[in-house]
Amino acid sequence: MNNNHENSRLSAIEAILERSAIEAERRSIEAERRSIEAERRNAEAERRNAEAERRNAEAERRSAEAEKTMENLKASIEETEQQIKRVSQQMGGMANSNGDVAQEYFFNALYNRKTLFGQEFDEVKTEKRKIKKTGVEVQYDILLINGKSVCIVEVKYKADTDDVRMIPAISKKFRQNYPEHANKKLYLAMASLTFDEYVENECKKLGIAIIKQVGDTIEIYDEHLEQ
């Protein structure tokens, strides 16, 4: 009886020890699993940090490249602007020079001729006047004046249609700026060393005489004007 009781007690102890060992092993496995999971998370975090650093480095590199590109572009634009400015100054000087040549040529030709539209003009002059009411200074390339008529001649080295279209506006202001000639017959003319068909047609349409260089002299086309 005592032996059976002892055996039962031993069996119970063995069962308890076995369960304890199994629980200890389970806990060990769970702890190892958690450790592996933590390592995996750390590795993932490190990977993400490395990727973020790589992206930041790439963004900084691209930003530096963009900044350098902008600096180069700015320098290129500034250089282009300087070149344009130099060319514009050169072209402006050439235009002024050409305009002076045309002005002198037609002024001398008309001064020596003094006859237009079948009329003899007493004065041939370049006129600049400051208007008292407005303070604006107006200039007329060539004015031909006699007792009953005035001819305004706009001079260009190479006339275009826009130049022609501005002449009627000039004539409207003339009577206001020169009240002493307000009652005289007013003629308009375009003088240019170079004319094309479009410019001539625009002159004819607007009733503007055409004065052009032909060889060593000038020719005046005024058949389309009302005398």
Q: pLDDT by residue (tens digit) across 30-43? A: 888 888 888 888 88
Task: Give this prediction's pTM.
Answer: 0.56
**DSSP β-bridge partners for residue 119:** 116
Q: Please give the pLDDT value at position 1.
A: 56
- Of residues 43 and 184, more confidently modeled: 184
User: Token pair of 98, please?
Assistant: 């050409």
89-142 pLDDT tens trace: 444 444 446 768 899 999 999 999 888 888 899 999 988 766 666 666 778 899
For the CA atoms of 211, 212, 215, 218, what is the dihedral angle to 10 degrees?
10
> Residue 26 to residues 20, 30, 34: CA-CA distances in angstroms?
10, 6, 12
Instruction: Supply the angle between the helices 161-177 and 197-206 in degrees, to the nearest 10.
Output: 30
CATH 3.40.1350.10 fits 114-221, yes or no: yes
Q: Please give the pLDDT value at position 20.
A: 78
User: Token pair of 27, please?
Assistant: 């806990």
Q: Please give the pLDDT value at position 39.
A: 85
Contact residues for 78 (Cβ-Cβ < 8 A; gap 6+): none
- Of residues 187 and 51, more confidently modeled: 187
Q: Specify the DSSP class assigned to residue 118.
A: T
CB of 153 closer than 8 Å to CB of 143: yes
CA dihedral over 99, 100, 105, 109, signed as positive or negative: positive
Give me the mean pLDDT over the 65-87 stretch: 69
Q: Please give the pLDDT value at position 169.
A: 85
pLDDT at 166 over 60: yes
Q: Please give the pLDDT value at position 32.
A: 83
Q: Please give the pLDDT value at position 2.
A: 60
69-78, 143-152, 191-200: the lowest-pLDDT one: 69-78
User: Token pair of 33, please?
Assistant: 């699993």
Tell me the pairing of strands 115-116 and 119-120. Answer: antiparallel
Q: Please give the pLDDT value at position 51.
A: 85
pLDDT at 83 over 60: no
Give me the mean pLDDT over the 212-219 stretch: 87
pLDDT at 87 over 60: no
Percent of the chain scored above 90 by pLDDT? 29
Compute the mean pLDDT over every residue in the chain, rounded to the nearest whole number.
82
Tell me the pairing of strands 149-158 and 185-194. Answer: parallel
Give me the mean pLDDT over the 62-78 stretch: 78
pLDDT at 75 over 80: no
CB of 185 closer than 8 Å to CB of 149: yes
Q: How far apart are CA 128 and CA 115, in angstroms?
A: 23
Q: Please give the pLDDT value at position 135.
A: 62
Q: How far apart are CA 52 and CA 175, in angstroms?
A: 79
pLDDT at 202 over 90: yes
